[in-house]
Structure 1
Amino acid sequence: MEQLSEDSRASTKKILPIILATAIFMQMLDSTVLNTSLPTIARDLNESPLNMQNAIISYVLTLALFMPVSGFLADKFGTKKIFIFAQVLFIVGSLFCSLSHNLTELVIARMLQGVGGSLLTPVGKLALIKTFPKNELLKAMNFAIVPALIGPVLGPLVGGYMVDYLSWHWIFLINIPIGALGILLSLKYMPDFKSTIIDFDLKGFLIFAAASLLLSIALELFGNTVHISPVLLTLMLGFLMMYFYYRHAAKDNNPIFPLNLFQVRTFRVGIVGNLATRLGISSVPLLLPMMIQIAYGQSAVISGWIVAPMALTAMFAKSAVIRILDVFGYRRTLMVNTFMIGILICCMAIPTVSTSIYWYMPIIAALGFFNSIQFTSMNSISIADLRQYHTSSGNSLASVNQQLAIGFGVAFGLIVLKVFQGDVKLIHNEIHNAFRYTFLVIGGLTILSGFVFRRLHFKDGENMRSA
């Protein structure tokens, strides 16, 4: 790292979480704002709304392809250069998105955004991990993670208003001032960490990237096709490539993701817990607004306001999570918190179609609070015991895992909904009942996923807690 004075180091510690939070907010807002606006963009570009899914898929696939290489690029060229480069790419991609005259131009611009997005969060988080000692890292990460919670909630709301009162172009143009602020702060405050070990495992990267790409394609196909055979084939090929990567990493001296990462218990539990828990949690921000619009016949803006309390309580939880972890520890906090989230998701199945939609607001508010605790705890325990030489690869792998976990969660929620929707006798030809049963299934799965955290020792994560 470049040499810093005490004053500079103190300033960096204050501003760095804000820089990362800005990048995460820009990225999360952009990915969720687009969902609300696809029909409007489709009309303007003279395209079918069904074809517009390519604008989302292209971004997700680019993320999956380039995220694994983020750690290597940061180690070779420095966290500062790569992070600023990622922000520039994201801004340029956003500008080109707003200037698109057809779907092809929009897809190419979204891919450019995806390259920037694939580096933004992992590299920013890596700089955070290397800047703060373990006992201060939780507080910094806790601040930076809030936009990841409020972005998916505010996205549909902001998108709805922008499309109604401005134009869809502003969905992308809003990224330019946010990104410009991030670049200005990064030029002055982003630390520049490099590594002396820069041997790149090209073969491992290609195998792992192919696996991530195939799994991401399978997840996108799950939500957009009625033919299950190509989806299962793609999924099987993805897992086959994962097996080939395992074989490669077992023999290679310097694989892109070393297998001995999984010998670290806290990392292993954090990765598995993230994947298992997000199977239930990730689909809620999609399913609840969908239910309010389809079953209750409300507008996108109304559904956005119903979900909005989640963002507010997520910010309140920010100040409580450190105290909770100090008192109860990671093991007990993650187990009980996961159970609470599962129970709250199940509670969404209680209201009937004749019940007021405002019944959901206290549930969603409580869910935002516990989600905030969950994500901060899971993300910090994953890197709690990583050695210095494992930080870059472990952080990159955690980011890839999180991206795939969110995709699996959304796909799983949609599959369960389609299964119940097709059983007319069970749901009594009432679409609202299909949503209710879906919430029961994903809530029950979330409760069961809490047992993953039993593998933690009661003292795990002590080095992450307040001194």
Structure 2
Amino acid sequence: MIDDEDDDRSALTTRQMRITAVIVATALFMQNLDSTIVATALPAMAKSFHADPLHMSLALTSYLLSLAVFIPASGWFADRFGSRTVFRAAILIFTIGSVLCGLAHSLGELIAARILQGVGGSMMVPVGRLLLLKSVRRRDMLAATSWLTMPALIGPIIGPPLGGFIVTYVSWRWTFDINVPIGLIGIVAVSLFIREVRDSEHAGRLDIIGLILSGLAMALVMAGIETIGRGIIAVPWSLACFAVGGASGWAYWRHAQHHEHPVLDLTLMKIDTFANSTIAGSFFRVLAGAMPFLLPLMLQLGFGESAAKSGTVTFAAAIGALAMKPLAQPILRRFGFRISMVGFGLLSVAFTAACAAFRPSWPVLALDAVLLIGGVFRSLQFTAFNTIAYADVPRSRMSAATSFYATFQQITITLGISIAAGSLEVATALSGHAAPSIADYSWAFIIISAIGLISVPICARLAAEAGDDVSGHHAAPVPHIDLPSGPRQ
């Protein structure tokens, strides 16, 4: 592990850490609640806007892409202006964007408002996580991560049933308005209980050219993936997005090699644990990002269930995630990161692939059981990824690391939605159906499961002792055996 002494004098006490983590989790709660409610409400929105339900994936990807484009600058803004100041402003922007989403009267207006939401979200969650990570001792990092994620998991638990109830009995517009009181409570709590954390000596100058190039690369490549062959825009325009986006990415890579403070610090990938978590986590998040999009569509459009019934089924995964979160720390301490992540990964993929077998004839309890157990293992895997990513990152580079990691998180979750939507459309076209059949949804689940499986052998390449200083696990040394030497020749 990289030598990086903790400054115990400036670190938060256990009580302060927990309070800070819960307040930061309010922002993560609001973001998770928003994403799960919106996913449940997509069919109702499509009907209101007279749009193709499969094209409603744009309501999710536009937000996530906005996050990815602006997250790289979040670390710089936090260091330059103070984490508390930026965090509080981000919650305000996200709340205003939520109000505008509820007022939208077309898919175009909704996408514009979701982009504004994404600007707020891009600073809200990564800066909140940075504020916490830069204030705790390294040995308390796993505990802080658990305190941060446990309250935030309540959002995905209540999101689907609450969204289903609102859509069925009130209006989909209320799914956005619910963010307003949560945002206001968060702003007040940040002002009262969180101290300012600033690291202006490491801020340098904002890499504006890098921000533009990286933003263009991500936005255009994702636009190409989202639109290729789906009838949203002409195919040549989709190909042009790939070409210009790829060129922008290459230009950024060249630019970052010579810039003192690049907006996305590629040298962080020289840290083994950070690189492994980034790469393996990217494949895994494709799987995780697709699930909230595919499940409500399959249950409502494929099975013919109401939004309320759909919500009561899909929230089972979040209950499993919350129930097992307290066990993440003892499991990682007992088995270490490598063994745990390989096991969690295999089981997560298996239970995601099991969703391909879902049929309307299945009892609700059977559906809930598969989703609940799958949610357990995805939750444990996310805790492992999100902790080991920062295990060997020096505190002086924590801002750059959180920006880099959060960017890849959002890009791959966005990619998961795009791949799921594209797979569903391709399967529908190949089967000759006018609308997706249940079998078409099955193929989409199989494809995203196959992509998630790629993460497992990458996790297996971790060193046996990787992250031991964070988890408290210490791999048993391999005993040395003196073998008798053979006769001299």
The answer to whether the superposition gives a TM-score over 0.5 is: yes
Structure with greater helix percent: 1
Which of 343, 353, 357 matches 2:350? 343
- Counterpart residue type for residue 213 of structure 1: A
1:460 matched to 2:466? The reply is yes
Structure 1 residues 57 and 330, CA, compared in 2 at 3 Å: closer, same or farther?
A: closer
Contact map agreement 1:342 1:445 (CA 8 A) in 2: no
- Counterpart residue type for residue 455 of structure 2: S
Tell me what 1:388 maps to.
Answer: 395
* 1:283-294 correspondence runs (5 A): 283-294=290-301
Which of 198, 215, 218 matches 1:194? 198
- Counterpart residue type for residue 216 of structure 1: M
**Which deviations, in whole Å up to 9, do the C-alpha atoms of 1:90-125 show, x marking residues without a partner?**
222323444556666655543332221110001001
**Which deviations, in whole Å up to 9, do the C-alpha atoms of 1:64-109 show, x marking residues without a partner?**
3321110000000000100011112122232344455666665554
1:48 matched to 2:30? The reply is no
- Root mean square deviation, CA, Å: 2.9
- Counterpart residue type for residue 468 of structure 2: E
Q: How far is 1:273 from its partner?
A: 0.9
User: 2: CA distance between counterparts of 1:286 and 1:168?
Assistant: 16
User: 1: CA distance between counterparts of 2:38 and 2:67?
Assistant: 16
Worse-superposed segment, 350-359 or 398-407: 350-359
User: 1: CA distance between counterparts of 2:12 and 2:410?
Assistant: 33
Tell me what 2:338 maps to.
Answer: 331
Which of 143, 158, 164 matches 2:147? 143
Q: How far is 1:127 from its partner?
A: 0.7
Q: How far is 1:8 from its partner?
A: 7.5
* 1:25-174 correspondence runs (5 A): 25-38=29-42, 40=44, 47-50=49-52, 56=60, 58-99=62-103, 106-146=110-150, 149=153, 151-152=155-156, 154-174=158-178
- Counterpart residue type for residue 206 of structure 1: I
**Which deviations, in whole Å up to 9, do the C-alpha atoms of 1:282-301 show, x marking residues without a partner?**
21222223222233222222
**Which deviations, in whole Å up to 9, do the C-alpha atoms of 1:307-339 show, x marking residues without a partner?**
121111111111111011001111111111101
Q: Identify unmatched segments of 5+ residues in structure 2.
A: 1-6, 474-489
Structure 1 residues 142 and 215, CA, compared in 2 at 3 Å: closer, same or farther?
A: farther
Q: How far is 1:213 from its partner?
A: 1.9
Q: How far is 1:386 from its partner?
A: 0.7
Which of 10, 14, 18 matches 2:18? 14
User: 1: CA distance between counterparts of 2:417 and 2:56?
Assistant: 18
* 1:130-279 correspondence runs (5 A): 130-146=134-150, 149=153, 151-152=155-156, 154-195=158-199, 196-199=201-204, 200-221=206-227, 225=231, 228-279=235-286
Worse-superposed segment, 103-112 or 252-261: 103-112
Secondary structure of 2:466's aligned partner: coil
Secondary structure of 2:356's aligned partner: coil
Structure 1 residues 43 and 290, CA, compared in 2 at 3 Å: closer, same or farther?
A: closer
Structure 1 residues 462 and 5, CA, compared in 2 at 3 Å: closer, same or farther?
A: closer
Worse-superposed segment, 35-44 or 86-95: 35-44
Structure 1 residues 181 and 352, CA, compared in 2 at 3 Å: closer, same or farther?
A: closer
Structure 1 residues 143 and 215, CA, compared in 2 at 3 Å: closer, same or farther?
A: farther
TM-score using structure 2 length: 0.85
Q: How far is 1:263 from its partner?
A: 0.7
Worse-superposed segment, 405-414 or 76-85: 405-414
1:407 matched to 2:407? The reply is no
Structure 1 residues 36 and 302, CA, compared in 2 at 3 Å: closer, same or farther?
A: same
Contact map agreement 1:266 1:382 (CA 8 A) in 2: yes
- Counterpart residue type for residue 390 of structure 1: R
Worse-superposed segment, 187-196 or 96-105: 96-105
Structure 1 residues 443 and 182, CA, compared in 2 at 3 Å: closer, same or farther?
A: same
Structure 1 residues 415 and 108, CA, compared in 2 at 3 Å: closer, same or farther?
A: closer
Q: How far is 1:417 from its partner?
A: 2.6
Structure 1 residues 166 and 5, CA, compared in 2 at 3 Å: closer, same or farther?
A: farther
User: 2: CA distance between counterparts of 1:159 and 1:314?
Assistant: 19
User: 1: CA distance between counterparts of 2:73 and 2:150?
Assistant: 25
Secondary structure of 2:171's aligned partner: coil
Secondary structure of 1:253's aligned partner: coil
Secondary structure of 1:255's aligned partner: coil
Q: How far is 1:371 from its partner?
A: 0.9
TM-score using structure 1 length: 0.89
Q: How far is 1:129 from its partner?
A: 0.8
User: 2: CA distance between counterparts of 1:119 and 1:421?
Assistant: 38
User: 2: CA distance between counterparts of 1:272 and 1:157?
Assistant: 33
Q: Count residues in correspondence.
A: 461
Tell me what 2:321 maps to.
Answer: 314
Worse-superposed segment, 394-403 or 156-165: 156-165
Worse-superposed segment, 6-15 or 371-380: 6-15
Q: Identify unmatched segments of 5+ residues in structure 1.
A: none
Contact map agreement 1:26 1:179 (CA 8 A) in 2: yes
Give aligned-pair identity as a percent: 31
Structure 1 residues 64 and 173, CA, compared in 2 at 3 Å: closer, same or farther?
A: same
Structure 1 residues 442 and 241, CA, compared in 2 at 3 Å: closer, same or farther?
A: same
